[in-house]
Each structure stands twice: as structure tokens, then as C-alpha cells.
Amino acid sequence: MIKQLAAALALSTLACTSAFAANLPDVPVPFKSGAGAMADGVIYIGLGTAGQDWYKLDTKEAAPAWQKIAAFPAPARDQAQAVALNGKIYVFGGCGKIEGDITSVSNEVFEYDPQNDTWTKVLTRSPIGLTGHTAVTADGKTALIVGSVNKEIFDGYFSDVDYATKAEDKALLDKINADYNGKLVKDYFFNKAVLQYDPENNLWITVGELPYVGTAGSAVAVNPQDQSVMVVNGERKPGLRTDTTVKFTVKDGHAKFEQTPDLIPLPNDKVQEGVAGAFSGYSAGTLIVIGGANFPGSTENYANGKNFAHNGCTKTWRDEIYTYANGTWNYAGDLKTPLGYGVSIQNGDELLLIGGETTGGQATTDVITVKVVDGKVVTE
């Protein structure tokens, strides 16, 4: 599906001309909550609503087309994360019915070898269970992993839900949901540690901790100019986002953090709720953050002592485009439709939005290319 949009940045008022590398075809299946990465100009996506299936798309071809590759060798899962390291694709974590009939968080790692079209389960475990995390690489050799829910609390909740559901006890189920959603932010123990995984040595280390709360579903992007990593928003507890952003760089196994401005409210809004599940990437030295979802009103509810902050609020999929450059956030227009929870791919100076879900959680097949051209954000 070809989409056209030109959203003016505060950077310039020059006229814009389209300059995309290629028009890319839609994903073969409705695709959300999956994983994806790019290696040597080839995009790899799978899991989520694709189940165990994986596909590749060679963007270097004159007429790129999706091709099915070897299926994932373990149970399907949502919210896994993939990153390309040393020419291979590594998949971290996810959640689903991985070891039985009850949803749980995975700490597994899988490696895909594009040369042989084969999957291997890596003999390692992440130090914590990973879902709601984001995986990126700044050096092409090691993965940096930001955020995640707490496995024990998350798994325990789904175990309790399974028990109440099988007992057909609605009152108990309502109490389980109220108890799970009614805690303070600090009592969910979302992951604050930034993890680094080195596949060559099969080694995990902690390079530092986010200087605020742990998050889930943050937008994370690597600046190709200086290899700094931006972390934008995310959940701080179920149904409640944060508007916080931070930048860090990693050197010799240690992260140096720099607090950056909070994401700005929309022009007619007093509060920025923050977003989870947004797309993010860089073009022309500018960070672009697009879409995601939140619960308008939840921030005010929580500030007023309502721990079940999103109770009575409506989940809202977002269409806003924000940019960050020279220390300043700007609102840069809207997508044609709201979109979140897809895969962000940095393709040279372009950002690719692969799949995702729109209002109501409906999975899409869209592939949207985003770029800053002559000081304006353009999508195709």
C-alpha cells in the first residue's frame, strides 16, 4: 500500500521532493507484535501474528519481493525482539504458550544463519525474562537490550488467570485483574538494567541502569552518526506510560546516560501521556518517533492516587509523528492511520515501518518508508 504524507518540521520550510530508495511490497500476512531485523540490505521478519513463519525481503533487488524462509524451531511467541549481529539474526525472549498451556515470558535466544537458512537455539539464557523489551545494536557485534516486564509477576498473573478461568469463577478473575493492575509503579519491578549480549563470547553483562523507572514497550533507536542510543517513553506499569526520554552511549562495557527533554504534548493537549509500541529511527540526523498507543487520562488518574490508572480509559492508537534534533522535540504531523506495535527497520537514511496494528488492535500488512527530505518528514 503506497501512502503519501508530507509533514513540515520546524527545521525548514523548503519544498520537498520524494527520494526513496524503492517502493517496498506489503508483508505477506497481517503482521503485529513480531520481530524483525536487517542484515546486508535484507529484511527478516517473523513471529507475532505470523506464528512460527519467517520471511525475508532483499531491498537491493530491482523488484523486491517477500520470500518465506525456514520456520522458527520453537513455539510461536509475541513481543520477541530481533537484531542483526555479525551477519546473523538473533531473536531474544518474547511471551506466549512456550512451555505449556499458560502464557509465560521467555529467556531464550535463537540464531538464524542466512547463508544456510537454518535456526539454532543458543545455549544461553538472558539474565531476566524478556518481553516488552527492545533490542538494538550500536556496533553490529553486540546487542543492547532495554526494558522488560518482570517475569515472575507477569507469569504469576497469567497462572492465576488460568486458574480462575478454569474454575469459571468470575468474581475471582475480577479480583485477580484488579490486584494485578492496582499496584504502584515501583511494585511491578519492570527492568531498569540495560543488558549487553556478546554472541562471539556468549556473554551477558549489565552496562548500566535507566536513570528513572524500568519500562516496557519503549521506542529505542541508534543514532548512526555517533552510535548513541535514544530511549523514548514506554510503559511504567500496565496501562500507564511515561513521557520521559534518555540518551546513552556504551564504551568498554559501561553506559553513560544523558537526560533528554520529555516528549512534548500535542499543541492542544496539557499532558503528554507518553506512548508504548511506537516506531523509531533516524533520518538526516533527526530522530523520528511515530505512532504507538496509550490510555488518555491514565496519567492524571495515577497522579490522583488511582493505582489502576487506566481503569475506565480507552486504549488509543496514535498517528502522531514527532521529531527530535538539536535538543528539541517537535510535532511533525500525522500518519494517515494510527499505527503501533510493528517492526522498525533502519535502512540507511530511511526508517521502515513494517506491519503493526491500528485502532482496535487489527494487524496490518503495510510497509511504510519514512525519511527527512529538505527539512520535512515524508512517508511513502
Taking CA atoms, 70 is separated from 55, 118, 280, in Å, by: 8, 6, 28
| pTM (two decimals) | 0.94
How big is the chain, counted in residues? Answer: 380
Per-residue confidence in pLDDT tens, the chain, 380 aa: 433 344 444 333 223 334 566 689 999 999 999 999 999 999 999 999 999 999 999 999 999 999 999 999 999 999 999 999 999 999 999 999 998 999 999 999 999 999 999 999 999 999 999 999 999 999 999 999 999 999 999 999 999 999 999 999 999 999 999 999 999 999 999 999 999 999 999 999 999 999 999 999 999 999 999 999 999 999 999 999 999 999 999 999 999 999 999 999 999 999 999 999 999 999 999 999 999 999 999 999 999 999 999 999 999 999 999 999 999 999 999 999 999 999 999 999 999 999 999 999 999 999 999 999 988 999 98
Q: pLDDT digit string (tens) for 357-366? A: 999 999 999 9
**What's residue 375's pLDDT?**
86
Is residue 37 within 8 Å of residue 44, measured between CB atoms?
A: yes
Q: Which amino acid is at 301?
A: N
Q: pLDDT digit string (tens) for 163-196? A: 999 999 999 999 999 999 999 999 999 999 999 9
Is residue 73 within 8 Å of residue 119, measured between CB atoms?
A: yes
**What's residue 23's pLDDT?**
85
Cell matching residue 66: 517477500
Residue with cell 491500528: 358
Burial class from Cβ neighbours inside 10 Å (0-12, 13-18, 19+) for residue 132 reads buried
- SS3 percent helix, strand, coil of the chain, rounded to 5, is 10, 40, 50
Residues with active-site annotation? 235
What's 264's DSSP letter? P
Instruction: Report the C-alpha gap between 82 and 191 in whole angstroms.
Output: 18
**What's residue 18's pLDDT?**
42
Q: Domains in the chain and their CATH numbers? A: 5-379 (2.120.10.80)
**What's residue 14's pLDDT?**
29
**What's residue 86's pLDDT?**
96
**What's residue 105's pLDDT?**
98
Give helix 151-166 / helix 170-181 axis angle, nearest 10°.
170
In Å, how far from its chain's centre is CA 225?
21
